[in-house]
Structures are given as C-alpha cells and as structure tokens.
Structure 1
C-alpha cells in the first residue's frame, strides 16, 4: 500500500467543538453503507498519535485503556451527553470504561461490550506496524466486517489534532465544519467538558502541568482553594456546573482553536470541504447532499432527504439573545478567530458548502 492509498475511503470531520459535528455524526450513522466513528480520536486522547510501531497487543492497549478525565467525570456524576456507554447496564462501572467504549461504540450497537470484545480479538493478533497503518487496518476491517464501504470519523474539538491527522492520513478527505463563533462559544459555556477545559487551563497555570494528564495527589494541595473542586481526585460536579466563568473565556477558547486552520491552507479542493453549520440548519438537504457526495456516500441525495428532518433548527443565533454588553464582550473575544475563519472560507463559504 502506497503512502497515500487508503484501504477504504476515509473522511475526517474537523471542528472547534460545539459546531454541529455531533449532529452530523449521528446523521451519517443513518446511512447503512457508512461506518460513522463518532469521537474515535477524542476517546483515545491523550496518546492517540504515538510514534514508532505498535504490535497487536500494544495497539489494543491504545484503543482500550481507560482515560483518566472521562472516567473521573463519570464517577463524579458529571453528565456529559457524548458519554454514551450504558452505565449500570454494561460490563464496566463508571470510572473504568474502556476508551473506545465511552463514545464511539454505543451509537453503533446495542451491545458495546460485545463489539469491544470483537475488536480486541481481532487486533491483538496483528503484526507490528506504525500506528497510522494500524488505524487504517482497523477502519478497513471494521467497515468490511459490517458491510460498509465508507468511513467517516468525527471528534469534538478535533482541530487540536489537525497536524497529526494530516500526517497520519495523507490520503484522507477533510470536512471543516464551522459555526458562528459567538454561538459556538456560548454553547461551550454550557458544556461540562469545555467548562472543565477553562479550569484546567487555570490549574495548569498554577501547577505547570495538566493534572488530568500528569496526575499526582499532591496537586490538589498545591492548588488555590478556588480550583481544588476541579482537580481529578476532588472533582465536584456541582462546583463545575456553578463555577462563575466569564463568557469571554469561552470566546477566547473558540478563537484559539481556530489557530489550527492555517494547516488547511494547502489542501487541494478535492480533499477539503468547508461546511457551515448555520447553512446546514437553514437549508439541510443541499448542504447534506454536498457533504454526502464529498464523503462518498452511495446515495447522498436520498440520505440527505431522509435525515434532514432530524436537524435541530432552533439553535442558531443563541448569542444574539444575550445582553448587549455580553454580546459585545463575547464577539470581541471571538474576533481573532472570526478573522481567521473569514480568511479561510471568505465570501465563498456558501458556494463551497453546496459544491459537488
């Protein structure tokens, strides 16, 4: 297999987070010919893009080992909508959920534990290869074993992985899904993962490390009192929900996420599609059809017409309902990212979205 060859067509959906990509993943999952891998790389963070080669058991460890942050959130009762593993009905308790089982497997099957075991039994026998090749092998096996012809991966806030994704998958297509920055930032402010993300930034400033990536029981004692309820060994769900975090912090978070867009500048049009969430919501069928054609769905027009009614058309414009002062502060914080986004998609955003 040459470097740019793919054993199965692969499209990777990119975004800042809270840009509508979860909705897109769920819509793609309605196409019987497409394997929709929701949050695949997000499940494996940290450690999703290792150097060197991995044999089968090492690759399975990468896929299956529980990650600290989501399991802390689960065990402390923080409700994260994307965490879809059936706690109480599945094999694993909160705090010990394997990486892939957390978000990727549940939308695909009513029995994520059985699918977890099938993947484990398959990959543990594989010969050593670079992680990029093991991923492609997994996608190919997974698609062929379920009768799928196309793979679409989508992880929340995946722009943070963009350099690695481009290096690992030089033959993949990329869909950049974007949304009005102020609306995205406002949505972040209401989501526990993004709220914790802001507070982790504050903890990193105090400790010099991210306590969820470099856990140490001494960290909690070293933090100022206001941050202790957010450390891994003392996370308090109520404190996380009630923390007073200025909206501008989320505008800055969204804006900084757009810094990765510079890596898209050199991708040719046949490998990059810009897809506006606001345009999808306003007129779902043509935008979804364009996405389906780009990703290689077998019948993109029929799929788009069938799933369009699932698009929630009530969400755009949320930031416009804030007070004038809040709106101004939020848009000022988003301004650098808004300029980056405009420079990339420009005035051609709508035509790119509808191009076939």
Structure 2
C-alpha cells in the first residue's frame, strides 16, 4: 500500500488505509451517523443486544437522528458515561494534525490510555476478519489474537443473530423489489413476499422463521477465515495467538491466562490479571453444538461449504 497516494480499495473499508487525513476527516468517520427506521421492529420484539448505547427521552442521540459509530458499541464498553466521553473526543480529535490514518488511530488510542490511566488497548470485532490484511499494513507491530470457531456452529449463530438477520432481510428486500421496507411510505404492493418486513406488517414469528442460506453462510464464513489465517500466518510467531473458541468455553481460566500473558507477558499486576481472569471466566458458558440438529440435506450443504476452514483449523 502506497502511503503517498490514495488507496484504490479504500472505499471498501473507509478509514482503513495509509491515506493522510486531517483531524476533522478522522472525526467525521468516527462520528458518522446513519439514521435507520428500525424503532418499529424493536418495539415489536427485535433485540439488538450488541447495540450498547442507551436511547432514552433525554439521550443526545436516538434512532431517528442516528447514533455516531463510535457511540453505538465502543464508548459504552469503556465508560458508563459514553455521551460525556463522546463530547470530550469531539473537542479533541478534530484538532489532530493531518497525518497518516495509522498514526491518527494511534493518537486516539494514546489519548484514551492517558484519559483512563491504562497501558494497553485491545480492539475486538468479529467483522475485522474481513480486513486483517489492512490491519497488518497499518499496525505491523501489533499483536493479533486469532479467535476462531467451528464454522458450522458460527453459521447457526448467525441465523439466531437478530441484528444480522434483520439487516440481511431488509437488504435482500430492497435489492429484489427496489423498495425500502423500513420506509412507512414504501409501495407495499411492490414488496411482494417481503411485505412482512414493512413496519405496519412486521411479524416476529415470520422473522424468527426467516432463514438465511446455511450453504451461503458456510461459504462466506469459511472463505473469510481461510483468508484471515493466510494473512495472520505471515506474522512472526510472537505476534500471534491462536485461540479456539471451544477451548475457551471448555477451560476458560487456562485460555484467559494465555490471553493475558500474550498481551502483557511482563505485567507487574499479576493479582489484577488473575482478578480479571476470574471475573471473565464467570461470564463464559459452554454451549452444546446445534448444527448436528439441522435436517440432513441442510447439514450436508453446510458441511461441504464450510470444508476449507474446517480442514484448515482441524475440525475434521
């Protein structure tokens, strides 16, 4: 990637390149708001548990205004007063000098470390599996924890993941009919089989029964994992920790100690680390595999589609 000029693929993942941005451009990315008309779905029972920003009558943002990207999940993980932290960052980040994006992120991380008197930043998001190569380009000295799971079970989880299911169904409806199902003024007659997604006709039972293709999920998830592992494997061994999800749920204390030792091998706060291990382990629950319960034909298609990752990660 050429730091001197624009990245030709930057539009695929805005903000993940070595382009030069000033502080205002960087903040515009972090504070981007996309109003979505999903309140009717939430009122009828759709749960968006990953969305942590608490919307109320007095909250600064809501679903109609749109919630800034950094407020939706990131800041609520850091503080119980995310609006207050957002306002602090709103005054700080736009003042960053023009610089490469990797250094802008580093400025943000360092500011947060000072603000909360911490000494390490850990970023976690499942979607990052799609741009591991970008992250390695931007942060070549960073440590990477490659947490992976049986693809077959991940596909099952995605078909239970309501936020993803709703987003996928709405996108498919719009692509198929040309109508936006979330728009109360959309032409219902054109929605056809997707009529149930219109706010006035939304039905939770039909939503729960809506099923994404297990074959497509298996192919996409498997391809992403294989690609991510290919990139991760190029890094020096000391920069990578391979972590199997099933091992984490089976022996959480042991695996969590591996994680903390990997992140801070010479930490002087062993007692605090062990406290973190105990607290974190108490939140982990082992879950039995559900993919074997699929009807035979669906199970076979899922297994075949998932085969590349299953072999690579030694599940078969």
- Structure with higher Rg: it is 2
Structure 1 gaps of 5+ residues are 4-44, 212-218, 348-356
Q: Which residue of 2 aligns with 1:47?
A: 14
Match of 2:63, SS? coil
Q: Which residue of 1 aligns with 2:217?
A: 250
Give 1:126 deviation, angstroms. 1.4
- What does the per-residue CA deviation read over 1:80-134, in whole Å, with 9 as the maximum and x for residues that have no partner? 2100110115221113111111111112222211111011111121111111110
Answer yes or no: is the 8 Å Cα contact 1:48–1:62 preserved in 2. Answer: yes
Structure-1 separation of matches of 2:13 and 2:234: 27
Counting matched residue pairs gives 293
Q: Which residue of 1 aligns with 2:278?
A: 305
Structure-1 separation of matches of 2:187 and 2:243: 42
Answer yes or no: is the 8 Å Cα contact 2:159–2:211 preserved in 1. Answer: no
Q: Name the CA shift for 1:66/1:76 in 2 (closer, same or farther; >3 Å).
A: farther
Answer yes or no: is the 8 Å Cα contact 2:17–2:138 preserved in 1. Answer: no
Structure-1 separation of matches of 2:101 and 2:200: 34
Answer yes or no: is the 8 Å Cα contact 1:46–1:67 preserved in 2. Answer: no
Q: Which residue of 1 aligns with 2:26?
A: 59
Q: Which residue of 2 aligns with 1:92?
A: 61
Match of 1:86, SS? coil
Give 1:336 deviation, angstroms. 2.4
Q: Which residue of 1 aligns with 2:183?
A: none
Answer yes or no: is the 8 Å Cα contact 1:185–1:253 preserved in 2. Answer: no
Q: Which residue of 2 aligns with 1:283?
A: 251
Map 1:168-207 onto structure 2 (within 5 A): 168-196=138-166, 198-199=168-169, 202=172
Which of 48, 54, 67 does residue 80 from structure 1 map onto?
Answer: 48
Matched, 1:108 2:81: no
Answer yes or no: is the 8 Å Cα contact 1:57–1:125 preserved in 2. Answer: yes
Map 1:200-239 onto structure 2 (within 5 A): 202=172, 225-226=192-193, 238=204
Q: Which residue of 1 aligns with 2:112?
A: 142
Structure 2 gaps of 5+ residues are 4-11, 181-185
Q: Name the CA shift for 1:171/1:163 in 2 (closer, same or farther; >3 Å).
A: same
Answer yes or no: is the 8 Å Cα contact 1:220–1:228 preserved in 2. Answer: no
TM-score, normalised via structure 2 length? 0.78
Q: Name the CA shift for 1:194/1:93 in 2 (closer, same or farther; >3 Å).
A: closer
Answer yes or no: is the 8 Å Cα contact 2:75–2:85 preserved in 1. Answer: yes
Q: Name the CA shift for 1:279/1:235 in 2 (closer, same or farther; >3 Å).
A: farther
Higher relative contact order (CA 8 A, sep 6+): 1
Structure-1 separation of matches of 2:297 and 2:28: 49
Q: Name the CA shift for 1:74/1:152 in 2 (closer, same or farther; >3 Å).
A: farther
Q: Name the CA shift for 1:161/1:220 in 2 (closer, same or farther; >3 Å).
A: farther
Match of 1:153, SS? coil
Answer yes or no: is the 8 Å Cα contact 1:228–1:234 preserved in 2. Answer: no
Structure-1 separation of matches of 2:52 and 2:285: 20
Q: Which residue of 2 aligns with 1:319?
A: 291
Match of 2:134, SS? helix
Q: Which residue of 2 aligns with 1:214?
A: none
Structure-1 separation of matches of 2:285 and 2:257: 17
Q: Which residue of 2 aligns with 1:330?
A: 302
TM-score, normalised via structure 1 length? 0.70
- What does the per-residue CA deviation read over 1:170-212, in whole Å, with 9 as the maximum and x for residues that have no partner? 111100101111111100111124324654775697699xx9x
Answer yes or no: is the 8 Å Cα contact 1:76–1:235 preserved in 2. Answer: no
Give 1:226 deviation, angstroms. 3.6
Q: Name the CA shift for 1:157/1:98 in 2 (closer, same or farther; >3 Å).
A: same
Matched, 1:163 2:133: yes
